[in-house]
Amino acid sequence: MGKRYYCDYCDRSFQDNMHNRKKHLNGVQHHRAKKAWYDQFRDYAAVLHDEQIKKPCRKFLQKGICDFGPNCRFSHMSEEDLFNLKRHMQEERQHKEDSEDRIISGRSIEEWLSKREKKRAALGSKGDSKTKEDNEEDEAENDIPQQIFSIPDLPPSLLPPPPGGWRVSASSEWC
């Protein structure tokens, strides 16, 4: 049967030879599917800019449907859609600025980890274990950089301890 070529954009496969592949890659359907794929990753600012430049589609405004669909050269967005797009763009920009401000104003995670390691080494060389644990709990609550809390789906080993500390049962002992 021979090798087959599978196009991820078009979700199609065909016999792989130079003629078929060239014909497919230059085809209108492939170009539309490829454009649709990359359009889903565009940011709000680019979409808003493109939609503001376009004139409204008369057919879409009258009937609510356009024969050209996403390939129409006119805009299918209402004033409300454009307003929502602007709002999303502003929220995205604000979120980005907030995260940059947090990183700039706060110290980096690397600095926090190195300082924490130095404190642990200093406490390990002197003092009894009871005061060492109490000091660590007090400092851990106030000392954790805020960037850690903004990372989604942290593994349990990297999550900060709960406010009351970790529960330790009397039956669990290390061998």
For residues 146 and 124, give the distance between their C-alpha atoms in angstroms, rounded to a whole number.
26
Instruction: Report the pLDDT value the prediction gives residue 141, as an integer from 0 to 100.
Output: 46
Could you tell me the two tokens for 152? 């989604």
Three-class DSSP category at 19: helix
Q: Quick one: pLDDT at residue 31?
A: 93
Q: Which pLDDT band holds residue 24 (cuts at 50, 70, 90)?
A: very high
pLDDT number for residue 139: 53
Instruction: Give per-residue pLDDT as tens, 120-158.
Output: 888 777 655 545 555 555 554 456 676 666 777 777 777
What are the C-alpha distances in Å from 125 to residues 77, 93, 116, 118, 128? 67, 48, 15, 11, 9
- Could you tell me what percent of the chain has a pLDDT over 70? 76
Say what the pLDDT of residue 13 is: 93
Which band of pLDDT confidence, cut at 50, 70 and 90, is reported for residue 19? very high
pLDDT of residue 171: 59
26-77 per-position pLDDT tens digit: 999 999 899 888 888 888 888 888 888 999 999 988 888 889 887 889 998 8
Cα separation values, 85 from 26, 76, 89, Å: 33, 13, 6
Mean pLDDT on 101-119: 71
The pair of three-digit structure tokens given for residue 101, joined into one six-digit string: 């401000």
